[in-house]
Structure formats: structure tokens, C-alpha cells
Amino acid sequence: MAGPVFEAAREYAEAMTARDPLAGYRERFHIPRAPDGNDCVYLCGHSLGLQPKTVRANVEQELKDWEQLGVEAHFHAQHPWMPYHRFLTEQTARVIGTKPEEVVVMNSLTLNLHLMMVSFYRPSAGRHRILIEANTFPSDQYAVRSQIRFRGFDPASSLLELRPRAGEVQLRDEDIFSLIEREGQSIALIMLGGVNYFSGQAFDLAAITKAGHAQGCVVGFDLAHAAGNILLNLHDWDADFAVWCTYKYLNGGPGCVGGCFVHERHAREWDLPRFAGWWGHDEQSRFRMRPDFVPMKGAEGWQLSNPSILTMAALRASLDIFNEVGMQRLREKSISLTGYLEFLLNQRPSSRFTIVTPHEPERRGAQLSLQIGEGAGVVQQKLAAAGVLCDLREPDILRAAPVPLYNTYEDVYRFAERFLVTLEDR
């Protein structure tokens, strides 16, 4: 099928914005200001999503309930605090593509990853390896290596890394699947990102799960850069678990709570090893305060602590918007916006930068990673001074993500124009 036909003139960006059915959602977010007082070009939603305007009212409501009701707000707040996390469950399940009992919003990403590995990384003498991407986010590396050591194994022999071929940034599908087939019998856990934070490459999670299960491996995913970005269907894809954060595409705010998926086939596996806390205990008997832990069924059984109300109130504002728009429509616009960004950058092919993110829409999300060589930091600073925000990952990758909820075709046009001029001036 032929891809969309874009045009390079500025008027085209204006016309596309005018006919964008989702354009109105931008009004629902606070857009940071550029030094000249205008809206900045914010292509950083892969790092920290923007603030929905309803966050303040949501948080203030909780502050008011706390002020006026004190401890009674656990039961009598407008959104009672006891079951507060459940106000986020259905919307989250829609974004991640799961059944409600398979997801819970709690803790933070790295902590949830540890909790999942306590339950789902069960190494034995013959099968003790964890498969990850060599260039995965460092926190995942640290978490995985520390879990391996915690179980008495050595990362030198128990960590298996998927590495792009020499001179390449993306992983080739054939290399992923041949490694799983070749080494699968020694792999206890496959733990990959849904979208790689560095290259922006999206993986075929359904096929990886299938290949992993065929070899007897447990399969889990870090969806930090996938949640709210690409279409996910974790339940049907049959993954064992997944974790994610909510401050990127999900706009929950800095340090907002993370999320966790556990497939329903594990919902009643009471014998799974787990690190327990009282909020994971059967809610009917939780307040009897008995020492024996009886886990709740489903993902909620992995909760540790009572919910963090203020950050969940912020996240609720964003998830309400996701619920209204729907991931399908967001993804359609996202494919178009990112395709447009790629098109504009390719109008002036240059040896000064390379797009290292895959070209095919199904192999990427919103983000394009631009390898720009020496002086990358200076380029990013010059862009920021001009009100164009993207970020840098060492040594020389500039990441830019037009986010369909609040970015426009004009944002993309302004980014491409300024980026190309700044590179030439370098």
C-alpha cells in the first residue's frame, strides 16, 4: 500500500492542522512557552508528557478532601482513597490492551520490574539466562543484573544481550528470532522494551512472545516508551507480564506512579514467589491485620502499599482524555505526524545526520532518533534557546517525538526547519 503523500510547503502544515480531527485536544494541555513568549515546539513527550489542564482541579479536589475530611476521605472523598487505583484500571486496560484484572497502577517502573522478576524469573541450573537488549535503558540493565546476582548467578554467564550488528543501531528481527531459537532452552526470561528508548525501534511483541513461549521462556516487556504511544494488545499477545511508567506518553507528571500487567493465567497462581505488602492482601480481610499473606487475584495481588493519591489524581486527568480519544485514532495521527517529520527531514538529505529509527510505521512509535555526530549537545542547546525542545542521549542521538494528543503538523514543520538550519550552522 502506498504511504501518505506529504508536501514540503509551510501552507501544507497549516492545512493539515486545520483538517486534523484531533487538533482540539491540544487546547486541553498546557504548552510550555518559548523564550519569545510563544508556544514552544515540544517534541519531548517521550521523556515527560505535558500537563493536562484538568490536573490542577483533580489534585485540588484531593487536597480539599484531605483538608476537610482527613482520614475519612479514605471512604467519603469524591473519589474515595481506599479503592483509588481502581479509578484508573479500565482506562489503563484499554491503553495496554488487557483485561481490567490484568493491570494495576502502582509503585514505579523499576520497582515493578523487580517485583515481576521476583515472581517470574525463576532460574534453574540449566535455564538461568535473561535475554535483554544490549542498549536497553540502564535501569533495566541494573535491575536485571541485580536479580541475577540475587539468585546466586553471574551476569557474565546469565545475561544474554541482543546487540545490533556492527555499524547498525536497530536490531534485525531475524537476529532476535534466531537467537531465541538457538539459545531459548537456556533462557529463563525474555525481557525486552516495547519501543527502544534510544533507537525508537518498536518490536513485534506478539511474535517475540510466541517464539519465547515455544522455547519454554517466560516473556515480559518494559513498555515505558510504548504505553500510550503504539497499539498494544498484551492479553491476546499472551505476554506473561509487563511494566511501564506513566510520565511519558501517558502525561501523568514527573515521577508519577507506574503500571503493571500480569496475564490472567497467572491471576490465581498463589504459589508464585512474590514480595508482598498489605495492599496486595485480600481486601476482604486486609484490615483484620493478620500476619499471613493472602494475595488478591490478578495484578492487584502484587501491590505493596496504599495508593499514592496525588499522583494518581494527576494521571486520572490524562487517562480520561485517552479514554475519550481512543488509542486507535491517536495512533493513526501519530503515524501521520511522524511520517511527516521523516518526510521533511528527508527533503534535505545530509551527511550531517542520520535517522536511525526504522522507517516502517509498524516498527516505530512517535519518536525519531537522529544521529547527529559531534557537537550534539550544542545543537540541542541552540534548539532549546529557539524554543524547540527535544532531548539528547549520549553520545549523539537527538530524540524528537511529535505526540498526537498535543503536537501539530506546524510543530513538526517548525522543528524540521529549525533543526536543519541549526545543523548547517554547526
Nearer to ligand PLP, 25 or 244 (CB): 244
Q: From 51, 96, 57, select the one nearest 253 (Cα to Cα).
A: 51
133: three-class secondary structure by DSSP: strand
How many whole angstroms separate alpha carbon 333 and alpha carbon 337? Answer: 6
Nearest distance, CB of residue 191 and ligand PLP, angstroms? 11
How many whole angstroms separate alpha carbon 120 and alpha carbon 101? Answer: 18
Single out the segment in contact with ligand PLP by CB under 6 A; choices: 144-152, 167-175, 206-214, 221-229: 221-229
Q: From 259, 346, 268, select the one nearest 301 (Cα to Cα).
A: 268
Residue from 102, 222, 240, 411 touching ligand PLP (CB under 6 A): that is 222
Nearest distance, CB of residue 374 and ligand PLP, angstroms? 25
Residue from 87, 197, 237, 241 touching ligand PLP (CB under 6 A): that is 197
- What sign does the dihedral 401-219-299-66 (CA atoms) show? negative
Q: Is 108 in the site for ligand PLP (CB under 6 A)?
A: yes
How many whole angstroms separate alpha carbon 16 and alpha carbon 93? Answer: 31
Nearer to ligand PLP, 199 or 380 (CB): 199
What grid cell was written down for 17?
492542522
Q: Which of residues 311-370 bind ligand PLP (CB under 6 A)?
A: none
Q: From 84, 80, 66, 55, select the one nearest 305 (Cα to Cα).
A: 84
Q: What is the DSSP string of 191-217?
A: EEESB-TTT-BBP-HHHHHHHHHHTT-
Upstream peptide bond of 395 is cis (omega within 30 degrees of 0): yes
Q: Residues binding ligand PLP: what is the number (CB under 6 A)? A: 13
Nearer to ligand PLP, 224 or 403 (CB): 224
Q: Which of residues 231-250 bind ligand PLP (CB under 6 A)?
A: 245
Q: Which of residues 256-295 bind ligand PLP (CB under 6 A)?
A: 258
Nearer to ligand PLP, 234 or 423 (CB): 234
Nearest distance, CB of residue 302 and ligand PLP, angstroms? 16
Nearest distance, CB of residue 299 and ligand PLP, angstroms? 17
Beta pairing, strands 103-106 & 354-355: unpaired
Q: Is 141 in the site for ligand PLP (CB under 6 A)?
A: no
Nearest distance, CB of residue 193 and ligand PLP, angstroms? 5
Nearer to ligand PLP, 98 or 107 (CB): 107
Residue from 17, 54, 61, 139 touching ligand PLP (CB under 6 A): that is 139
Q: From 224, 238, 260, 251, select the one nearest 330 (Cα to Cα).
A: 251
Residue from 45, 184, 193, 365 touching ligand PLP (CB under 6 A): that is 193
Nearest distance, CB of residue 222 and ligand PLP, angstroms? 5
Nearer to ligand PLP, 222 or 300 (CB): 222
CB 155 within 8 A of CB 130: no
Residue from 89, 110, 318, 369 touching ligand PLP (CB under 6 A): that is 110
How many whole angstroms separate alpha carbon 229 and alpha carbon 380? Answer: 23
- Cα of first residue to Cα of last residue in the chain, in angstroms, is 39
CB 373 within 8 A of CB 303: no
Residues that bind ligand PLP (CB under 6 A): 108-110, 137, 139-140, 193, 197, 222, 224-225, 245, 258
